[in-house]
Amino acid sequence: MEYEQIKVSREGGVEWVTLARPERLNALTARMAGELLDAVGRANRDPGVRCLVVTGEGRAFCAGQDLKEFSGGVPDVGEHLRATYNRVIPAILDLDMPVICSINGVAAGAGFSLALACDIRIASDAATFTQAFIKLGLVPDSGGTYLLPRVIGYPRALRMSITGDVLDARTASAIGAVNEVVPAALLRGETAELAKRLAALPTRAVGATKNLMRRAMAMTLEDALEAEAGTQREMAGTDDFAEGLAAFLEKRDPAFRGR
Ligand code: LHQ
């Protein structure tokens, strides 16, 4: 698939996916959602990719749905969501590798949801966050009702969602909406460094940890213990476990290969 609205580039084991409609603050379109889905699927099938970074070009991360696309008439919004973001968000959550969202500017509406679907959020000090939906008379979508309460807790998530208040990066960090905040000029370098570190991890165990933890949120302890036992058995058969164990016994750093 030819990409028109995103850019994809590889640095070592790290795949950078950049939303690339800066003149519209990287607002999402059906086309962009299709491209994101394609890029995520390709990364997951490529054993050379062991970490994915999502970021935005220009001064914004993502302003959510491109509202100008609806100037000629609003489509069946339910069908639009099912065909677009409802496919992209689970694809990111299900990626068998760590996903960093490098938030370079405003993350609004579905753009905020996109950031919430990633595993680690690193933000520029110029970034802002808003559940913009309510200002349009809409409810959070693209996983906003599911992900935000899990990330920052129900009371804060509900308040953000019904007020549409804009959080600055420092506040977002204080309440756990982002993992870290760095000066804007350092964002790319800090993201690259973190991504490189994550890409050197035992990728299968990282992917399985994501999967287990997400499922465990809706499990009993007994079921979570059983799921851990089954997955751990699988992990104990990987090359990376053999390497991790050998490195420990030989008192050296492990060299994981992601398999
Ligand atoms: C935009 C957008 C935008 C188009 C800025 N679209 N052009 C909902 C409904 C149905 C189906 C599926 O999904 C969804 C999910 C959603 O995501 S709903 C939420 C949609 N997003 C919003 O409501 C956010 C709207 N934007 C804003 O509130 C502000 O633009 C933010 C806070 C993002 C940034 O504010 P500023 O930094 O002051 O920038 P600006 O407002 O001056 O915008 C710059 C340009 O970007 C401007 O265009 P212009 O031609 O006037 O220079 C905006 O119109 C355009 N833009 N967001 N979502």
| Order of strands across the sheet that contains 14-19 | 6-11, 14-19, 51-56, 99-103, 120-124, 180-182
Tell me which of 5, 19, 24, 25 to substitute to probe ligand 1's pocket, judged by most ligand atoms within 8 Å of the beta carbon.
25
Question: How does residue 226 score in pLDDT terms, banded at 50, 70 and 90?
Answer: very high
Q: What percent of the chain has pLDDT over 70?
A: 100
Task: Indicate the average pLDDT of the chain.
Answer: 98
**Ligand 1 lined by 215 (C-beta under 6 Å):** no
**How is residue 131 written in tokens?**
């559940």
The pTM score is: 0.97
Identify the CA nearest to 98 among candidates 42, 15, 173.
15
Q: Which pLDDT score is estimated for 111?
A: 98
- DSSP bridge pairs for 172: none
Task: Give mean pLDDT, residues 125-151.
Answer: 98
The Cβ of residue 232 has, within 10 Å, a number of other Cβ atoms equal to 13
Report the half-sphere exposure of 222 (CA within 13 A, side-chain side).
0
**Ligand 1 lined by 63 (C-beta under 6 Å):** yes
